[in-house]
Amino acid sequence: MDKFVIEGGRKLQGTIRVNGAKNAALPMMAASLLLEQGDRLVLRNVPNLVDIRTMGTLLGKLGVQVSRTRDVLTMSVIDDTPVIAPYEIVKKMRASICVLGPLVGRRREAKVSQPGGCVIGDRPVDLHVRGLADLGVDITMKRGYLEADASNLKGRTVYMGGAYGPSVTGTQNILMAAVLAEGTSLIECAACEPEVQALADLLNSMGARIRGIGSPRLIVEGVKNLHGTDTSVIPDRIEAATFMAAAAATRGDVRIEKCRPDHMIAPLQMFRRAGIETNQGEDWIEVHSEGSFQPIDITTLPYPGFPTDFQAQFMAVMSMGTGISIITEKIYPDRFMHVPELRRMGANIRKEGTCAIIAGVDHLVGAEVMASDLRASAGLVVAGMAAEGFTEIHRVYHIDRGYQHLERRLCELGARVSRVSEKKDLSLIRDVV
């Protein structure tokens, strides 16, 4: 197991490029299950991450041949009979649930392990199940597996609204089932995230007929079959926002290229409200940070609201602000695992129900902290780069699920972040950093 050792207090400066979005690439890869045998799906700008490799392994078990050349993934179906997504893989990555919709759509049968507990909170799949049932799928839970018989799959009306808003991967699953269902489906209260739009665009380029893309009402006219295509994955808006946070926290000057500012309106507005200077063009953002951060009041919401996946990183910035900031989590009410770790670094944060009340401190101080999930870890990296002295972040395998070569790329901006095997002694490392 590796850890990061960060020597904080260094201003980030320079230019960094954003990779393709993991959360867009994963369902797009799953869409290969909708192909006819012999057709090929080519995806470009695919980040090389643990989660992407896990999806590749799962698709392999489902008869899809997946190959990678640099950032290009090519997928083709060589056997369209397997329908089982086993627990051994699903337990590693919840996004494995994205194979449920296309299996139902194309193979009319699925047996997908139900994802288990998750550190960021309860993550049920009832909206996926109810949505598929609305499409006429007979779906039951047996011994930890969702078993679906889709012999009566039909285009119908599906309502995706849940207690915490629509489900992103739920909407993607329903879309992938509906594109090959006979008749017209209406998906009401659909998730509008750019990653859902990207999947719908991909499906249309494979021959699907989806209207209303980007809106909460998707209309899908079922077609008989889909064909191969070649497309690019959208830039990762959360990675881009994480770099913005890193620049702001270290009082840096950073240009972030190959990003989509139009997918990042809420984070950009919040940076401005906090008094952090940003400039933007069609595919770039510049952050220039000096002076103090003004307190802000943020609530995470479904897109186009402020993303929950950027909550921890922004909290790290605001913990060094002035006055009292409030962050309310409306997607995952328990997603505050980073709070006690930030406190170990001197942050003054109180969790109150689904809110974090942050009294800004002048500076953070390096400490040993524990990464609990992908975005919490990214928040700790941001804090560590701004803090005085050394920070050690244990269990950084979480980071590798969503950020490719993060430490290397941050070092190119002047950060001092080293990946170290947990076995080595810190005294040896300080020379290396």
Catalytic residue positions, numbered: 118
What are the CA-CA distances from residue 252 to residues 109, 271, 396 (Å)?
52, 14, 24
84-123 footprint of ligand EPU as x/- string (CB under 6 A): ----------xx--------------------------xx
Query: Exactly one of 260, 263, 338, 375 binds ligand EPU (CB under 6 A); which one?
Result: 375
What are the CA-CA distances from residue 323 to residues 180, 280, 294 (Å)?
54, 28, 7
Site stretch for ligand EPU (CB under 6 A), options 62-70, 148-156, 168-176, 348-356? 168-176
Residue 76 vs 308, nearer CB to ligand EPU: 308
Contact 348, 318 (CB under 8 A): no
Site stretch for ligand EPU (CB under 6 A), options 72-80, 138-146, 167-175, 345-353? 167-175
DSSP H or E segment with residue 426? helix 426-432
Site stretch for ligand EPU (CB under 6 A), options 59-67, 157-165, 243-251, 260-268? 157-165
Query: Exactly one of 3, 10, 106, 128 binds ligand EPU (CB under 6 A); which one?
Result: 128
Look up residue 361 and give its amino acid: V
Query: Exactly one of 29, 174, 331, 339 binds ligand EPU (CB under 6 A); which one?
Result: 331
Q: How far apart are CA 61 and CA 39, in angstroms?
A: 18
Residue 22 vs 255, nearer CB to ligand EPU: 22
Residue 94 vs 258, nearer CB to ligand EPU: 94
User: If DSSP codes are grouped into helix, strand and coil, which group holds residue 189?
Assistant: coil
Q: How far apart are CA 105 and CA 251, in angstroms?
A: 50
- For residue 285, which phi and psi values (nearest 5 degrees)? -140, 140
Query: Exactly one of 20, 47, 56, 170 binds ligand EPU (CB under 6 A); which one?
Result: 170
Residue 301 vs 361, nearer CB to ligand EPU: 301
Q: With CB under 6 A, what is the number of residues at the site for ligand EPU?
A: 27
> How far does Cα 256 stand from its chain's mean position?
18
Site stretch for ligand EPU (CB under 6 A), options 10-18, 126-134, 228-236, 274-282? 126-134
Q: How far apart are CA 364 and CA 380, in angstroms?
A: 11
Alpha helices (runs of H) in 80-167, residue ranges in sequence order: 87-90, 100-102, 126-134
Contact 266, 289 (CB under 8 A): no
Binding-site ranges for ligand EPU (CB under 6 A):
23, 26, 94-95, 122-128, 162-165, 167-170, 195, 308-309, 331-332, 374-375, 402
